[in-house]
Chain A
Amino acid sequence: ELKVEQNPLFLSMQEGKNYTIYCNYSTTSDRLYWYRQDPGKSLESLFVLLSNGAVKQEGRLMASLDTKARLSTLHITAAVHDLSATYFCAAGRWDGTASKLTFGTGTRLQVTL
């Protein structure tokens, strides 16, 4: 059974500082995804990581994947208030009949002035 863990669960960030969220998964996974969720809203896709060593950047967010360590990281550079949200990683796996996503526990980010 594929399990996905994230840490920390909660991150209080000061504006302008850098932070990293870690995502570990338990068994081989084809794909690694990062999503953002604002309170009461749906999931917004941020990054898709498909191979070992993949690195994607969008604005102040950068995601990377190390398939040998079964680890993905989401790095936040110079945090700003509008990054406050919950971030989920999800590992994708082909089940034989369909693609399944297993989500991590989520990291709630709160950016303070």
Chain B
Amino acid sequence: DTEVTQTPKHLVMGMTNKKSLKCEQHMGHRAMYWYKQKAKKPPELMFVYSYEKLSINESVPSRFSPECPNSSLLNLHLHALQPEDSALYLCASSHLVRLAGIYHYEQYFGPGTRLTVT
């Protein structure tokens, strides 16, 4: 299994709703990431989990709450979002790869969840 899966594919939520995005990988990767991508913009890193511990939080508002229950699963809990939070949310996982004698972390991206906040 060499893929990252994300559910749901699409989500429409009101500003008072609470919802969650789910990401799963079974490649044994120990780092997992959440990115936000607005239309016609590059992905922006939100959170990084390394060995199930939050290692990077890029000053993301608290209405986004990440959770890593185990090494295969990453959630993003959403509460009281604003319309400007509408975007494509991408999950990725990575592992250490040795290529031509050099190590690097290769990231594998999921298909994304298209979120619309009304």
B and A form one assembly: yes
How many residues of chain B are within 8 Å of chain A by beta carbon?
27
A31 & B55 in contact (Cβ 8 Å cutoff): no
The count of A-to-B residue pairs whose CB atoms sit within 8 angstroms is: 65
Inter-chain contacts of B114 with A (CB < 8 A) = 40
Q: Is the interface of B mostly helix, strand, loop or mixed?
A: strand
The distance in angstroms between the C-alpha atoms of A101 and B29, with both chains bound, is 17
**B75 CB to nearest A CB, Å:** 18
For residue A50, which residues in chain B have a CB less than 8 angstroms away from its CB? 99-100, 102, 104
**Stretch of A12-20, A70-78, A92-100 contacting B (4+ beta carbons < 8 Å):** A92-100
Measured in the bound complex, the distance between the Cα atoms of B50 and A55 in whole Å is 31
Q: Does A7 make an interface contact (CB < 8 A)?
A: no
On chain A, the residues within 8 Å of B102 by CB distance are 50-51
| Interface residue B61 (Cβ < 8 Å from any Cβ of A) | no
- Interface residue ranges, B against A (CB under 8 Å): 31, 40-45, 48, 50, 55-56, 88, 90, 94, 99-100, 102, 104-112, 114
